């Protein structure tokens, strides 16, 4: 056998560090902010035009949600300033409830941080990515921090800060902070400098804000475009929309792994109580029927159920639901 052939057959010469150990030294955990910094197209920042739209949409959605949840009729100021060389300054200001000081950095400069992810109800945002992703895009393209002002009441001083997102740790990095004079009694203002492109037409931010005003007639939107032209979309009604109610999951929409986690984390002592209290549209009688169809005891402890029993429970749910729908249709 030739020396060349021997090297091919044995890629690990004797006396040297195993290749697996060398490869292991290069492996490390990838932070969520690092990942999105390299894959910002997944967040809606595919190109300069879309980046401007996404930034404004995320900020306006936050303002609408904050006002509606607090029973405040929204008055949102949107300003887009052309700074030249494909750079724009986006300012979005609202009259919402404001944000407490310690939460401001995390809300604006920490990905996957929010209050809606675990809540099963309709809302404009859920993952806790939107506005912090806009802050990330702005700092990546211009190197400038986001400027935030927020006030929670006339008695409290407005809190202002400049911050960036530490992509390695997915943590906010405060550049400056303090207080300053601000005319609003309560609300939030965010200012971002970013690389973007402004184009008119049906896909423009002008049209987006117009449609947003139409679908949210309780809101006033004051918009100043890059040409310094101001457009006011006045509210058409003083009646705010009803706040969406949080619901529990329907048993048919839960997968086996999720069901197992719910069973083991349950505070209920019986399977019947678990079904009635952890799912929507499951009455006591329906829960008993599910247990019978699954061939499980209704009084057994959900925490002690095995994977096989959880699978039986899923089959029992599937067998019971069609019958429940038939009974519902008969009543109708």
pLDDT in tens, 262-307: 999 999 999 999 999 999 889 999 999 999 999 999 999 999 999 9
Two tokens, residue 65: 């949600």
| Segment of 74-88, 99-113, 117-131, 244-258 carrying the highest mean pLDDT | 74-88
CATH number of the 36-233 domain: 3.30.565.10
Q: Is the pLDDT of residue 2 over 90?
A: no
Q: Is the pLDDT of residue 127 over 70?
A: no
Tens digit of pLDDT for each residue in 41-96? 777 788 999 999 999 999 999 999 999 989 999 999 999 999 999 999 999 999 99
What is the pLDDT, as a whole number, of residue 29? 63
What is the pLDDT, as a whole number, of residue 34? 72
What is the pLDDT, as a whole number, of residue 35? 75
What is the pLDDT, as a whole number, of residue 5? 57
Record the pTM. Answer: 0.76
Q: Could you tell me what percent of the chain has a pLDDT over 70?
A: 84
Domain ranges in the chain? 36-233, 251-331
| Segment of 128-132, 168-172, 211-215 carrying the highest mean pLDDT | 211-215
Q: Is the pLDDT of residue 309 over 90?
A: yes
What is the pLDDT, as a whole number, of residue 289? 94
Say how far apart CA 177 and CA 147 lie, in whole Å: 10
What is the pLDDT, as a whole number, of residue 120? 44
Nearest alpha carbon to residue 294 among 280, 303, 305: 305
Give the pLDDT band (50/70/90) at residue 331. Answer: very low
Residue 193 dihedral angles phi and psi, to the nearest 5°: -105, 125
Tens digit of pLDDT for each residue in 133-162? 999 999 999 999 999 999 999 999 999 999
Q: CA of 102: how far to CAs of 72, 150, 282, in Å?
A: 23, 11, 41
What is the pLDDT, as a whole number, of residue 30? 66
Nearest alpha carbon to residue 74 among 90, 91, 61: 61
What is the pLDDT, as a whole number, of residue 332? 41
What is the pLDDT, as a whole number, of residue 212? 96
What is the pLDDT, as a whole number, of residue 4? 55
Range in 47-56, 155-164, 194-203, 315-324 the model is least confident about: 315-324
CATH class of 251-331: mainly alpha
Say how far apart CA 112 and CA 128 lie, in whole Å: 4
What is the pLDDT, as a whole number, of residue 38? 76
What is the pLDDT, as a whole number, of residue 200? 84
Say how far apart CA 273 and CA 288 lie, in whole Å: 10
Q: Is the pLDDT of residue 126 over 60?
A: no
8 Å CB contact between 223 and 78: yes
Annotate 78-129 with DSSP letters as a single string.
EEEEEEETTEEEEEEEE-S----GGGHHHHHH-TT--SSTT--S--S--SS-
How many Cα atoms are found within 13 Å in the side-chain-facing hemisphere of 112?
9
């Amino acid at each position: 056998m030739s020396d060349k052939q021997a090297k091919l057959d044995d890629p690990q010469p004797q006396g040297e560090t195993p290749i697996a150990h060398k490869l292991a030294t290069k492996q490390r955990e990838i932070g969520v902010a690092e990942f999105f910094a390299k894959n910002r197209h997944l967040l809606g920042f595919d190109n300069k035009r879309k980046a401007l739209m996404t930034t404004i949409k995320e900020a306006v959605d936050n303002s609408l949600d904050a006002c509606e949840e607090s029973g405040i009729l929204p008055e949102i100021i949107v300003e887009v300033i052309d700074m030249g060389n494909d750079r724009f300054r986006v300012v979005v200001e609202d009259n919402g409830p404001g944000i407490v000081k310690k939460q401001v950095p995390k809300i604006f400069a920490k990905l996957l941080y929010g209050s809606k992810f675990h809540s099963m109800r309709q809302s404009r945002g859920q993952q806790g990515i939107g506005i912090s992703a806009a802050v990330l895009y702005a700092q990546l393209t211009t190197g400038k921090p986001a400027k935030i002002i927020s006030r929670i009441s006339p008695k409290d001083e407005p809190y202002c800060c400049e911050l960036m997102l530490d992509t390695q740790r997915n943590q906010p990095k405060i550049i400056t902070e303090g207080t300053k004079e601000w005319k609003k009694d309560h609300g939030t203002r965010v200012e971002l400098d970013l690389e973007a492109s402004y184009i008119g037409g049906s896909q423009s931010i002008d049209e987006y804000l117009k449609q947003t005003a139409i679908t949210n007639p309780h809101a006033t939107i004051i918009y100043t475009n890059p040409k310094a032209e101001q457009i006011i979309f006045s509210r058409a009604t003083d009646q705010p929309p009803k706040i969406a109610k949080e619901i529990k999951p329907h048993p048919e929409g839960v997968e086996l792994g999720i069901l197992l986690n719910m069973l083991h984390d349950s505070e209920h002592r019986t399977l019947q109580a678990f079904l009635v209290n952890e799912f929507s549209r499951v009455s006591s009688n329906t829960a008993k029927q599910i247990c019978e169809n699954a061939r499980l005891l209704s009084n057994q402890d959900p925490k002690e159920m095995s994977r096989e029993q959880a699978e039986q429970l899923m089959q029992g749910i599937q067998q019971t639901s069609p019958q429940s729908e038939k009974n519902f249709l008969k009543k109708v």
